[in-house]
Amino acid sequence: MEFTRRDFIKNSFFFGSSFLFSPISAYAAVKKEIEWIPAYEKLEMEGKLAQKVKQAYAMFENCQLCPRKCGVNRLKGEKGFCRSPVNPVIFSYHPHFGEEMSIVGGKGSGTIFFSNCNLRCVFCQNWPIAHEGRGKEVQDEDLADMMLKLQGIGCHNINLVTPTHVMPNILNATRIALKKGLHLPLFYNTSGYERLEILKILDGIVDIYKPDMKYMDSDKAAKYSAGASDYPEVAKKAILEMHRQVRVHKLDKEGVAIRGLMIRHLVMPNRVAGTEKFVKWVAEALPKNTYVNIMAQYRVEYKAYDYPEIARGITIQEFLEAMDWAEKYGLTNLDPQSVALRNFYHHHRAN
């Protein structure tokens, strides 16, 4: 069944008017006793979530959801740079164990892989999904059901991978799922290429942000991410806003992430990612205990073979110098797996 804008507005009114009689308001007092509740649930209790969903959905008419600002009317079937239709296209959803330990916990991160992408890097490791858009188009109600299934099998969070171009669908689906009992942190797993105006809509909805910081130099960003020369400046502002909203990485009693900012930075060959500038910037612009994952797993994928500078994996030395810079600039909350890998290489070299 097609979910039209009219349906959406009708739905919004339904949710809006039903709020007074909603089970959410009825059990709000009981919830006070519970230590943690998702940000979006608090917003719903304050009666503000419906308006955010409406505001986000209106953006589809003249799509400026990301810095590409295509201006297409996705409600009428027009497609912009990301090639995304108005409905979300989903490649897969399942518990995922390949994220940071605090995200994975014991039962996995409830990951939803959205197809298409607004950045489209030449070295993309998910290129069949991000570039070719492989996946299945679904309705927001289906997306809500996926969130609930992931919760049902015990996942610790709803991990939204490449969410930027489908943010309105995510908000609508979250609200639908909330009405049916969703009670997990919303984890926004993004390339970092985000507009401030859009992040303001997400304020009070997202619990955990995990942006990439891919490059610090605009010429590299333009060359390897489809002309996105503004990426470094855009991503830096976006990360500061994310930190303003959710502050530093916070764990529950079991050591599972429930809130905060986690930054990912992939070390690239030949210092393409500008790692020293990156760690220096974090140390100066954010608290030193900001969670930073310096990743060693760059591999030559998709069109990276056509670019000699990035047509090889990184060396051990390139990874170690990245970790040394992080230490030199005083970062104190590095991803434990990166630290373990650094220690392993140091130990290996010493023996």
Contacts with ligand SF4 by CB under 6 A lie at 63-66, 68-70, 72, 80-82, 84, 118, 165
Residue nearest to ligand SF4 (CB): 80
Chain centroid to CA 78:
25
CB-wise, 68 or 96, nearer to ligand SF4? 68
Shortest Cβ distance from residue 229 to ligand SF4 (Å)? 15
Residue among 243, 317, 336, 222 nearest 275 (CA): 317
Distance, in Å, from the CA atom of 267 to the CA atom of 264, rounded to the nearest integer, reads 10
The one-letter amino acid code at 277 reads K
* Residue among 72 and 184 whose Cβ is closer to ligand SF4: 72
Of 165 and 223, which has the nearer Cβ to ligand SF4? 165
For residue 189, the SS3 value is strand
- Are 187 and 159 within 8 A, CB to CB? yes
* CB of 169 or CB of 293, closer to ligand SF4: 169
| Structure tokens belonging to residue 82 | 């990301």
**164 DSSP assignment:** G
Cβ nearer to ligand SF4, comparing 109 with 164? 164
Minimum distance from residue 124 beta carbon to ligand SF4 (Å): 15
Q: Return d(Cα 181, Cα 175) in angstroms, integer.
A: 10
The residue type at 76: K
Residue closer to ligand SF4, measured from CB, 63 or 262: 63
Closest CB 19 distance from ligand SF4, rounded Å: 29
Strand partners, 264: 212, 293
Q: Which residue has the tokens 């230590």?
A: 35
Q: Say how far residue 45 (Cα) sits from the centre of its chain.
A: 24
Closest approach, Cβ 36 to ligand SF4, in A, equals 32
Shortest separation between residue 167's beta carbon and ligand SF4, angstroms: 8
Cα first-last separation, the chain: 64
